[in-house]
Structure 1
Amino acid sequence: MEYLKSERKQILYSILLGLIGGLVGIALFGLSGYMISLSFFDPPFFVIILIIAVIKLFGMMKGAFRYVERLLSHEATFKLIGRLRLNYFKSTIGSVQDTHSVKFIQKLNQYFEQVENYYIRIIYPYIVAVLISILIMVLAAYVSLGVAAMTAIVAFILLYGIPKVFENRMSKTLEFRDQTDDVLYSKLYHYIHDYTNLFVTGRLDSEGEKLVPGIQSIRKNENKMVLNESLMQLLGQIAQLSAIVLIIVMLYAETPLWVPMIMLIALSYFDLIMPVMNPASQYKTVKAAVSELELEIVDKGIPVESDKISVIEVDDLNFRYPNASLDVLRDISLSIKEGEKHAVIGSSGSGKTTLINQIIDHNPAVTLYDKSGQIISDGTDARVSVMPQQLDFYNASVMDNITMFGHIERDRSAIESDLKLLEMSYYKPDTMIEFTGRLSGGEQKRLQFIRMLAEDKSWWIMDEPTARLDDRLKQKMWDYILSKPTVIVSTHDLSRLDSFDYIHYMEQGRIIESGTYGDLMQRHGQVHQAVQRFKDFL
C-alpha cells in the first residue's frame, strides 16, 4: 500500500501547523514562567501588561493553528481510509468470504477503526512530537549540555522506550480479545438462533449460563487493556516527574530564575508527547490490521458463452448453520432448466432465503450443468445475476456501485435511462453514496435491479425483489423480471404467481408442494390457500 498517496500535502501542512502550534504553546508556557521570574525584580507595570498581551495572542494563535491542523489531518485521514475501504471492497468482489456475515463486518469495522485512529493519533502527532523534541534539545543546549542530554533521554523513553516495552503486551492482549470475541460470538449467535427450541426444551437457562465464562473473559481482557494503559501513563508520569526534579537540581544553584520558565516549558512539552505513547504501543496490531485490508484485486473474468448454465440441480439438500442444533433446510430436491421460471413461496422463516442463498453460494448439493451436460465447477454467482436479501453498496458514486467499479460494462446514458425508468432520476451517475444508510430499502432494490440489467445475464436469481416498493413499481419490476428467460424468485408477493412455470411452497425448511400454477390451484393445497389469503389481504 502506498501510504498517504494523495494526501501528502494535507499531512505536510498538518505537520507544519502542528509544529508551529506546539512551539507556540510551549512559548506561551515559557512566557508565563518568565513572567513569574520577572516579578521577582518588580518590573514596570507596562512590561507585565505587554507580556500578558503576548501570552493572550499566543493562546489565540495556538487555538487557530490547532484547529486548522486538525481539519487538514482529519481530512487527509478520512480520504486515506476511504481509499483503503474502496480498494478492499473492490478486492472482495467475487471473494469466497461470507461478506454478509455480521462477524465479518464487525471485524472489518474494527480494522478500519484501528487504522483510522492510528493515522489520526500517530502519523502527524508522532512526527510533530519528534520534531518538537529535537528543537527543545537544541534550545536546552543553550541552557546546559546536561539539560539537553536529559531532554534527549526523556524524549527517547517517552516516544520509544515505554511504547516498545508495551508493544508485545498490547498486541497479545488485543489478539486474545479477538479470539475471545470470536468464540463468544459463535455461542451467542447460536443461542439467539436456537432461542425458541431452547425455550421449548427447557434448556434456555443452562445454555445461557455457558455464555457467562466468555463474557467474564472479555471483561477480564478489557481490564487488562486498561491496566496496560494505566501502567504506561504511570511510567510516563514517573519519567516526567524525574525530569522536573532534575531540572530543579541542575539549575537551581546557578540560574534559579530560569527554573519557573523551564519547568513550565517542560510541562507543556510533556503535554504534547504523553498522548502519543498509547497509540505508538499498538503499532504491531495496526500493521496486522492493514495487512488484512490489503488484499490483491483479482479479476475472475466473465465466463465464456459456451459455459452458460443449462440446468441447476438441487439434490437432497440439507443445511444447518455452524454449531446450530437444527437443520434449516431438509431434503430439498428440485431441478431448474434454462428457459423456466420458478417461484419459491411460503411463510416467513420457512427457509426460502436460505435456499436461495445456498443456490447462489453453490452448496455441494447444488450442481450446475452446461449445454453439453458437463458439470460446471465454479460458483453460481459467476454466471447468474443475483438479488440476495443482503445487498452490497459502497461509499462511492452511483455509477461505481452499478458497474462494480468497472467490472460491469454500462455507459452513463444507459444508467441515466435506467434510473429514470425506476423513478430515481434524482440520482445521477456521479452522485456519491456517502454512506449506505442514505439509501432506503426500496432504493437498494432498484439499484441492485439496475446492476442486474447492466450484467445482462440470462439467469436471474432473486430474493424478495419487490419488497418495500409501491404497487406501481412492483408491477414495473415484475414486467422486467418475467421478461427474462430463466428466473428463480423467492417472494411473498403473489400478484404475478400465475406467470411462473413452476411454484414451490416451503414450510419449516421443506418443499411440501411443487408444480404448475394450474395444477396446484386445482389441488386446493397450501399454494391455493396462500393465494386466497393474498387476495383477501388485497
Structure 2
Amino acid sequence: MDRKITVDHVYFKYADDSPDVLRDVSLTIKDGEWVTILGPNGSGKSTLARLFNALILPDRGAVTSLGIDTADEKHWPALRRQVGMVFQNPDNQLVAPTVADDVAFGLENAGIPLEEMKTRVKESIATFGLSGLENAEPHRLSGGQKQRVAIAGVMALAPDVIIFDEATSMLDPEGKREVWAAMDKLRKDQAITLISITHDVSEAVKADRVIVMHEGGILKEGTPASVLGDQEVMHTAKLKPPFPQTVAAELLKAGIDVPESILTEEELIKALWTSM
C-alpha cells in the first residue's frame, strides 16, 4: 500500500520553556488503513493528530501527508481539505442553521460549483442516515446525529484521510454506536484511510492497527489483539482492556474453555455458544 502519512523523528512542545509533548515519534499510516491511536489524557495522541494536516508543525523532525511536506505553507488549504478532522465536541463544528447548510459549508468555502455541491450534499446526507433531517436545526439533534452531520460535512469534501479526534468521547452509548457504524461504513464502502484518536479501548478493536501513546512517545503498535492483549503495555499506559476480554479472562479462570484473544461481544457470544 502507498504511504498516506509519514512522521519522521518528530518532537513538539507548546512553549519554549515547557516539556516536549511529543518525543522522537516516527510512524507510517498507509493508504486505506484504519489506525487507532490510543492513550490516556496527556499522552500526546491529539497533538500528534494535529500534525497530520499542518494544524501545528513539528519543532524537530518532519511530517509528510499525501506526499506533501506539512512545513510547505502554500499547500495547507488543499491539505486540510484532503485530511479532514472530526473533533470531540460536535457543537463546535456545526455553524449553519440547517443540516443541509452545514454539510454544504465546507464545499462553499472550497468553491465547489453549485450543482456539484447539491449532489455531494444529498449523497453525504444519505450516506450517514440523515435523510429527512435536511432542514432540521443542528442544535436540536442528538449527540450522535450531530457527529454524523459533522462527518457528512467532512466527507462531502471527498478527503483522502479522515481523522476522528476523540469524536465519541462526549456521546452516550447509542451516540457512540452511531458514529462507530458511520466509521465502519466509510471503511467498507469507500476504502478511505481512517485515523481514530481515542482513550476508549472498545473503539480500537475494529482497527487494522493500534498505536499506544505514552508520555509523548509510542509505547507499542500492532494488531488490536497483540496490543490490547499485552497486559504490561495496558498497565503502563493506564488503559483498561475491552470488557469482553476481561470476561473471557475470568471464564478461563473458572475453567471454561474460551480463546484468550476475544475482543468483541460478538466473539465472546460465539465462544460461549461453541463451548456449551
Which TM-score band (shorter chain)? 0.5 to 0.7
| Counterpart position of 1:394 | 95
Q: Find the aligned partners of 2:98 and 2:34 in 1 and give their Cα distance.
A: 33
| Counterpart position of 2:255 | none
Q: How does 1:319-334 map to 2 (within 5 A)?
A: 319-322=12-15, 325-334=18-27
| Counterpart position of 1:368 | 64
Structure 2: gaps (5+ residues)? 248-264, 266-276
Closer/same/farther in 2, CA of residues 323 and 496 from structure 1, 3 Å limit:
closer
Q: How does 1:90-489 map to 2 (within 5 A)?
A: 310-322=3-15, 325-360=18-53, 361=55, 363-364=57-58, 365-368=61-64, 375=69, 377=72, 378-379=75-76, 380-389=79-88, 391-404=92-105, 406=108, 407=110, 409-411=116-118, 415=121, 418-419=124-125, 422=128, 424=130, 427-428=133-134, 430-431=135-136, 441-467=143-169, 468-469=171-172, 470=174, 472-483=177-188, 484-489=191-196
Q: Find the aligned partners of 2:96 and 2:65 in 1 and give their Cα distance.
A: 37
Task: Give the superposition deviation at 1:316.
Answer: 2.2
Closer/same/farther in 2, CA of residues 424 and 475 from structure 1, 3 Å limit:
same
Q: How does 1:474-513 map to 2 (within 5 A)?
A: 474-483=179-188, 484-495=191-202, 497-513=204-220
Structure 1: gaps (5+ residues)? 1-308
Identical aligned residues as a percent:
27
- Is residue 310–residue 337 contact of structure 1 (8 Å, CA) maintained in 2? yes
Closer/same/farther in 2, CA of residues 314 and 456 from structure 1, 3 Å limit:
same
Q: Find the aligned partners of 1:526 and 1:506 in 2 and give their Cα distance.
A: 10
Greater CA drift, 505-514 or 489-498? 489-498
Q: Find the aligned partners of 2:186 and 2:7 in 1 and give their Cα distance.
A: 22
Q: Find the aligned partners of 2:9 and 2:57 in 1 and give their Cα distance.
A: 11
Q: Structure 2 counterpart of 1:444, which letter? A: K
Aligned residues: 223
Q: How does 1:522-533 map to 2 (within 5 A)?
A: 523-527=230-234, 530=239, 532=241
Q: Find the aligned partners of 2:202 and 2:186 in 1 and give their Cα distance.
A: 13
DSSP 3-state at the match of 2:153: helix
- Is residue 104–residue 121 contact of structure 2 (8 Å, CA) maintained in 1? no
- Is residue 350–residue 509 contact of structure 1 (8 Å, CA) maintained in 2? yes
Q: Structure 2 counterpart of 1:508, which letter? A: E
Task: Give the superposition deviation at 1:455.
Answer: 1.8
The structure richer in strand per residue is: 2
Q: Structure 1 counterpart of 2:144, which letter? A: G
Q: Structure 2 counterpart of 1:499, which letter? A: K
Q: Find the aligned partners of 2:16 and 2:95 in 1 and give their Cα distance.
A: 31
DSSP 3-state at the match of 1:505: strand
DSSP 3-state at the match of 2:220: strand
The structure richer in helix per residue is: 1
Superposition TM-score, scaled by structure 1 size? 0.36
| Counterpart position of 1:228 | none
Larger Rg: 1 or 2?
1
User: Cα deviations across residues 322-343 of structure 1 (Å, max 9, x unaligned)?
Assistant: 3652222222221112232211
Task: Give the superposition deviation at 1:450.
Answer: 0.8
Closer/same/farther in 2, CA of residues 506 and 534 from structure 1, 3 Å limit:
farther
Q: Structure 1 counterpart of 2:63, which letter? A: T
Closer/same/farther in 2, CA of residues 480 and 525 from structure 1, 3 Å limit:
farther
Superposition TM-score, scaled by structure 2 size? 0.65
